[in-house]
Amino acid sequence: MDNSPPFTAFFSANMPFVARAALEQLRIWVRHNPWFQGKNTDTWFQVDSAILDRLQAEYGGEWAQLGMQMLTHQPFAFSDPRFAGSAWSQPLFGSLAALYLLNSRFLMRLLDELPIESGKMRQRLTFLVEQLIAAGAPSNYLNSNPEALERMVQTQGASLFSGMLHLASDMKEGKLRQCDSGAFTVGGNLATTPGQVVYQNPFFQLIQYAPQSESQYQRPLLVVPPAINKYYILDLQAESSFVRHALEQGHPVFLVSWRNADESIATATWDDYVEQGIIEAIRVTQAISGQQQLNLLGYCVGGTLLACGLGVLTARGQKPAASLTLLVTLLDFEDAGVLDVFVDEEIVRYRERTIGGEGGSFGLFRGEDMGNTFSLLRPNELWWNYGVEKYLKGQKPRSLDLLYWNNDHTHLPGPMYCWYLRHAYLQNDIRSGRLQVCGETLDLSSLDMPTYLVGTREDHIVPWRGAFASTRLLKGPTRFVLGASGHIAGIINPPAKKKRSYWTSDTLPIDPDAWLSSAEEHPGSWWGDWNSWLSQYAGESGPAVASLGSADYPPLEAAPGQYVLQRD
């Protein structure tokens, strides 16, 4: 239990920021915080007096301007979406928001001045303070949110009753749902691209999709989604389906639908997912298509698994990849982004003891835990705003397919998850050339197939520079493309919507920022650029297949299959 003293004074809209007091209370709070136990943190707070005086003087100037605005009854206007509504322009609530933003800004400036040598410790402290700042926003509380108060009056209290029902429902589910759960049905209005499940084992179902063009390329595309999410992010509604788009371009598409792990595979390891997942999917796709070489695509951790599988096969003398596409994938975890703040030896050891099989304690890593973690990486956009709308204002959550998918969590076997934490995020072993996977030494530098890498500029899960680092590991001809937006919206960006942009460059320097400085921005989706690239490795074009599966692998059930429908 966290017995640290309260740390709320600097988010109170009626208490001005005082640099020395803030520094002292921050020091006390850090000393009592479990994340920093055993660390020599006292040196972090030895800030030069001149710096504190300068911060205080600058704050005083801005506070005086704010006070003048209040005294002269000038209306407030905010670019921050939490306070953008007209109700926040009135003096009382506007001043609350303005002082909160001012205090928050100067607290973050104070953090920047702390002499913390460890980059990870600075990142961890910054993350925690950002969480506290986000939690302390006046918009999060009924008595300081004018929009929620107005709605309460307008509805004669019905909005509060509805909000309590939403809260009770979410508490029962164990998660803050960001979407109306009744708006979508997998197989009804999501994951509707026609296909058949042509193989399954305890780890995955393999879906072969029906052609969506009169002719097809000879060489199939095998898609590996992340095992920690359900595959239909790549097959949402028809107009935004990456799978359907690839089919319309003439590519035969096979896709791995990972099982939502339950107790029957709670002891499964990373090696099991590579051997019985990746390598088995490649083998069956080869058998059904009659093609020994495939175009392979991995998304996020699906790409990490896929690269490991190819490394194992290369060590065994097999090279099944005509090309490789990795979407927002980390192979080198040196720049692992904000998720790195959650990983250290103590945390990994705890997971290994409780669910990882150490001492015989096997279990599942719950999808709700990962979903909540991802939401807290962007607390104002993915957490508190939904609480305000649902609980304070009593409004029904939006009906958005991407948010529905985001709340459709999956679980992972404890040993597999713990291996990933230790050997990827904690020790960065996957790039080392010495790691043992499936009885083979994993050497990613042995992968020499043509590769298409995609990072996204605002990705908070896989920083684009981390995705770019794969260009230094893989030895084949490589094309790196940078998409706008984030981890999901930057990938699921169909050309027909004519949204966002992407960057390309014909040069591939070692430094990612040097690459960006030479890159050219293009309007719209990167999908067209990928289509042009992939067509080079797709083989001859001929009549589309008339039937799915084969004599050895007959269709088992229609897509989307039963695995994607499994929940708890």
Pairing of strands 221-224, 541-543: unpaired
- Measure the CA dihedral 342/180/81/171, to 10°: -50
Pull the structure tokens for residue 24. 């002292």
CA distance 426 to 249: 40
Total Cβ atoms within 10 A of residue 155: 14
CA distance 272 to 184: 33
Q: Give the residue from 291, 292, 297 showing the smallest Cα distance to 278.
A: 297
CA distance 200 to 93: 58
The stretches of 6-118 forming alpha helices (DSSP H) are 19-32, 49-71, 91-113
Pull the structure tokens for residue 435. 């790691």
Pull the structure tokens for residue 380. 């104002």
Classify 479 as helix, strand or coil.
Answer: strand
CA distance 87 to 109: 29
Q: Characterise 495 by phi-psi region: left (phi > 0), alpha (psi -120 to 50), beta (else).
A: alpha
Total Cβ atoms within 10 A of residue 134: 20
Active site residue 300: yes
Total Cβ atoms within 10 A of residue 447: 21
Angle between helix 91-113 and 49-71 (nearest 10): 170
Residues listed for the chain = 568
Candidates 179, 300, 308, 438; catalytic one = 300
Classify 183 as helix, strand or coil.
Answer: coil
Beta-bridge partners for 441:
436
DSSP run (H or E) holding 299: strand 294-299
Pull the structure tokens for residue 110. 């104070």
CA distance 111 to 353: 35
Q: Characterise 365 by phi-psi region: left (phi > 0), alpha (psi -120 to 50), beta (else).
A: beta
Burial readout 166-203 (b: 16 or more C-beta within 10 A, e: otherwise): beeebeeeebbbbbeeebbebeeebbbbebbbbbbeeb
CA distance 280 to 202: 12
Angstrom CA distances, 530 to 236, 449, 480, stand at 20, 16, 10
Q: Give the catalytic positions in this structure.
A: 300
